[in-house]
Amino acid sequence: MYRRGVSSRTRKLVIGGAAAALLGSALAVGTGMSQAAEQGNAGASSGDINALVPALGFSPGNPNATADRVGPTGVKVPGRCPPTQAQVNAQVALKNANLPSGTDLESRIQRFEKTLSAIQDLKCPASSTTLLGRLNSLTALRANANRDNILRGLGLNETPADKAAATGSGDAAASGATGNAGASSGDINALVPVLGFSPGNPNATADRVGPTGVKVPGRCPPTQAQVNAQVALKNANLPSGTDLESRIQRFEKTLSAIQDLKCPASSTTLLGRLNSLTALRANANRDNILRGLGLNETPADKAAGNAAS
């Protein structure tokens, strides 16, 4: 009898524990659902949304602000605008079960359009971000038959995830570049395009697979600082403009420096990006397109782009 009583009591404890566990699970599920609803995720994971929604290009406003502020395009916008990137991502997810993920032009355009719609849903104007100017630059490429390859080749960084990946893959310019004949090291570090691939091991004897998928000497490419120094050595004045031809010249001179340092162009991503730039020569609006795209080609541009977003 004594043992039966203990067994009965144990069963009650077990049942009670199971009920508590079920209640805890229900609460956890409910909390998770509530958080998902808060994030506005309807059919797309937050990871996907965070990787696909274009960066707003301007610091978020103060939700308690009552006065206007000057937006990124120079016009006044409500001081509370733009929303945070997280708020915009959540609104995009709420309204779009599937957001196009392609690198083709039309997928990019759709992502910009849906993000601008989310900005308006959150009661902020497009002018509180840089999205509209960048969208206009994308739509201007529609007439170019090679538009998708151009965009892929430019390595356009439109999303926070893209920006992080680009910063991680590029070898940031080191300070104190030497061999500078006529241009300050600061100018060179800000103007020479990033190589797009991690530097090789100067002591390597075997080949490595380069960024284009072909084998390159294991010592290649040189460091960004070495390339900057070589560009400065050979060029008293490096074009600093944001126009297409200035950009092309900087790429060509950088590729020449790579070869001077006994490494092939294929040990960097420079040649593909240069080809995408030269493909724009036939476009009458080429300079405005490039400025509007916010193309991050130099270490200084990348730093500015990351700070803006």
Residue 291 and residue 259: Cα distance in Å, rounded?
A: 29
Least confident among 7-11, 33-37, 132-136, 282-286: 33-37
Least confident among 10-14, 41-45, 73-77, 138-142: 41-45
* Confidence tier at 297 by pLDDT (50, 70, 90): low
More confident residue, 38 or 116: 116
pLDDT, mean over the chain: 75
Residue 274 and residue 266: Cα distance in Å, rounded?
A: 12
Q: How far is CA 301 from CA 84, 258, 291, in A?
A: 22, 21, 12
Q: Give 251-297 as a DSSP string.
A: HHHHHHHHHHTT--GGGSSHHHHHHHHHTTTT-TTHHHHHHHHT---
Identify residue 129 by its one-letter amino acid code. T
With CA atoms as reference, report the closest residue to 231 among 176, 259, 278, 192. 192
CB within 8 A of 291, min separation 6: which ones? 137, 242
With CA atoms as reference, report the closest residue to 151 among 107, 214, 98. 107
Q: 209: which DSSP letter?
A: E
List pLDDT tens digits, range 174-225: 222 222 233 444 578 889 988 888 899 999 999 998 888 889 999 999 999 9
Asked whether the beta carbons of 244 and 236 are under 8 A apart, the reply is no
DSSP3 helix / strand / coil % (the chain, rounded to 5): 55, 5, 40
Identify residue 82 by its one-letter amino acid code. P
Cα-Cα end-to-end distance for the chain: 73
CB within 8 A of 8, min separation 6: which ones? none
Residue 153 and residue 144: Cα distance in Å, rounded?
A: 14
Q: 128: which DSSP letter?
A: G
Least confident among 88-97, 154-163, 215-224: 154-163
Asked whether the beta carbons of 125 and 77 are under 8 A apart, the reply is yes
